[in-house]
Homo-oligomer: A and B are copies of this chain.
Amino acid sequence: MGVSVGPISGSSKYYSPEGVPFRRVHLSTGEHFDLYDTSGPYTDAAATIDLEQGLAPRAGVVRDRGTQLQRARNGEITAEMAFIAVREGVPAELVRDEVARGRAVIPANHNHPESEPMIIGKAFGVKVNANIGNSAVTSSIAEEVDKMVWATRWGADTIMDLSTGKDIHLTREWILRNSPVPVGTVPMYQALEKVGGDPTKMSWESYRDTVIEQCEQGVDYMTVHAGVLLRYIPLTIDRVTGIVSRGGSIMAAWMLAHHRESFLYENFGELCEILARYDVTFSLGDGLRPGSIADANDEAQFAELRTLGELTKIAKSHGVQVMIEGPGHVPMHKIVENVRLEEQWCEEAPFYTLGPLATDIAPAYDHITSAIGAAIIAQAGTAMLCYVTPKEHLGLPDRKDVKDGVIAYRIAAHAADLAKGHPRAQQRDDALSKARFEFRWHDQFALSLDPDTAREYHDETLPAEPAKTAHFCSMCGPKFCSMRITQDIRAAMNEKSAEFLEHGNRVYLPLSS
């Protein structure tokens, strides 16, 4: 079993005095630029990686003082909150306050000390989740661990292990012990596998045991489709694509077979008690999310969202942290309504959406169709975006798809951070653009989301090292490079300015000065 290790090109691992890791980009000007870093020890040249052994647990995990939510309400700034404050560049009190209000969550199971603390909430940087996991058709444990490391290398803030094939428990164990980010699951998948894949054979008892098993193992957040109620199923009957959530469709099949209300809904209080013991965060699943443009924002979807609001209150009354999952497939003009209703009905619990895809017509490019929707929904206040890969609707993503999905979603998240005026966001754009304008090619690559591919594309036509300081690239060639010409213009203007000032003519001075 092997995974990608070593620093990202042009960067090295830097730990702040508080022990918070950053990706430090070294610029040719002698300056450096520190970036939020999700990649864990794998990109630390000094770290020894032993997958059999797992990552070293972080110190200071407190198991007997309740959840981050309970402690935040008590006015405590936990070790995790202090870490996050440095990581996000915000006051620790803001972190505590947002968690206490339920507007942010810190998914950190006491039994997953390998994970570096992070926060999901609209007052902080927009986060990205990458789904991995095998299916009955394809993949292995080694491949899934590799995908986990690979996804966090490129910027995944959390991982969901959605394995539905063989070795579900063991695959998750390997992932948890080696994951530097929180890990989410949908316990229903394993519960279903335990009864041979027949939804009608599931029971509350076996589901509950599966949840406890996963809590013990260290899963940080769990998708629970407790808002899919029996009476909502008929609302899906006229849809173009019915129920497209796996968990939602499984629960619907169970309810219909037994003609009973959802056992997740009926036993939600007990579920809260279990999750509270480990500080596992709820990700209340949108089992009735739209699976096509035609079904967006319909009655079924919003009926479930109202129920998720009820469940949010219950979970919080048990001190359990909660986030809310959102769609799916939504045309651009219907996206913002999703955020507004979620905020209104679910007490501003962090919204966590899958895309949404802004159109259905581009299978093989759904990382793009959905990055459009994701950027818009994040700008409106969504706290975490679940990536979509180019393989969505077509097959299980491989390593390349995982990277393509993560990069597309880092773009969406960053575009939203910029639009929201996140304090650190534009600094990176400015640093990269300045490097671009000054033809510091190496710096431009190093500051980018994917230095390797940026360099590779540049080098396809101009591979020689001198081209890395050349005042042009192959797009325009030397004579037509606007940035080179602008530099000449600036030099000329500086000359002229001095000249005209002597004659009292100010035409060349910036009008804005």
A418:B511 contact, CB within 8 angstroms: no
Give A354-365 as 1s and 0s: 1 = Cβ < 8 Å from B's Cβ atoms.
Answer: 000011111111
CB-CB under 8 A for A240 and B419, given A408-B368, A485-B252: no
Alpha-carbon distance between A164 and B477 when the two chains are bound, in angstroms:
8
Q: State how many copies of this chain the complex holds.
A: 2
Are A235 and B361 touching (Cβ within 8 A)? no
CB nearest neighbor in B for A250:
B485
8 Å CB contact of A257 from B240, B444, B492: B492
Chain B contacts for A433, CB-based, 8 A: 240-241, 291-294, 329, 360
| A396 within 8 Å of B (CB atoms) | yes
CB pair B241–A483 under 8 Å, yes or no, is yes
The residue on B at minimum CB distance from A437 is: B241
Asked if A74 lies at the interface with its beta carbon under 8 angstroms from chain B, I say no
Of A12-20, A62-70, A386-394, the stretch lying at the interface with chain B is A386-394
Minimum CB distance partner of A247 in chain B:
B482
A 490-511 contacts with B by CB, 8 A:
490, 492-493, 496, 507-511
Q: What chain B residues lie within 8 Å of A510 (beta carbons)?
A: 234-235, 237-238
Give A394 to B242 CA distance when docked, in angstroms. 44
| In the complex, A407 has a CB within 8 A of chain B | yes
Chain B residues in 8 Å Cβ range of A487 = 242
Cα-based distance from A292 to B428 in the complex (angstroms): 11
Residue picked from A394, A395, A445, most chain B C-beta under 10 Å: A394
Q: Does any Cβ of B come within 8 Å of A199's Cβ?
A: yes
A449-466 toward B: CB 8 Å interface, digit per residue (1/0)? 110011011101110000
Q: Which residues of B contact A461 (CB under 8 A)?
A: 137-138, 395-396
A392 contacts B490, CB within 8 Å? no
Nearest B residue (CB) for A417: B359
Do the beta carbons of A394 and B511 come within 8 Å of each other? no
Chain B residues whose C-beta falls within 8 Å of the C-beta of A135 in the assembled complex: 474-477, 480
In the complex, what residue of chain B is closest to A252 when comparing beta carbons? B489
A512, CB-defined interface residue at 8 Å:
yes
A444 to chain B: closest residue by CB: B363
Could you tell me the dominant secondary structure of chain A's interface residues? helix
* Minimum CB distance partner of A441 in chain B: B394
CB pair B430 A240 closer than 8 Å:
yes
CA–CA, A511 to B293, complex, Å? Answer: 21
**CA distance in complex: A127, B252 (Å):** 42
> A448, B363: Cβ atoms under 8 Å?
yes
Q: Which of B137, B390, B395, B415 contacts A369 (CB 8 A)?
A: B415
Is A236 an interface position by the 8 A CB rule? yes
Contact B358–A375 (Cβ < 8 Å): yes
A165 in contact with B477 given A257-B492, A372-B375, A492-B256 (CB within 8 Å): yes
Contact A189 B480, beta carbon cutoff 8 Å: yes
Interface set of A (CB-CB < 8 Å, partner B): 135-138, 164-165, 189, 192, 197, 199, 230-231, 233-238, 240-246, 248-250, 252-253, 256-257, 259, 291-294, 299, 329, 331-333, 358-365, 367-369, 371-372, 375-376, 379, 390-398, 407-408, 410-412, 414-416, 418-421, 426, 428-430, 432-434, 436-437, 444-445, 447-450, 453-454, 456-458, 460-462, 473-483, 485-490, 492-493, 496, 507-513
Complex A-B: 29 CB contacts under 8 Å: A136-B477, A137-B477, A164-B477, A234-B493, A235-B510, A238-B510, A242-B482, A243-B482, A249-B483, A257-B492, A292-B430, A292-B436, A292-B437, A293-B429, A294-B426, A294-B430, A299-B512, A331-B415, A331-B419, A358-B411, A358-B419, A359-B418, A363-B448, A365-B449, A368-B371, A369-B415, A391-B475, A393-B473, A393-B475
List the 7 closest pairs (A to B, CB-CB), nearest first: A242-B486, A136-B477, A292-B433, A197-B479, A332-B419, A358-B415, A249-B485
Give me 20 other A-B pairs in contact (C-beta within 8 A), A137-B473, A242-B490, A331-B426 excluded: A164-B476, A192-B480, A197-B480, A234-B508, A235-B512, A240-B434, A240-B437, A242-B489, A246-B481, A256-B489, A292-B429, A299-B511, A332-B416, A333-B421, A360-B430, A364-B454, A371-B371, A372-B412, A376-B376, A393-B475
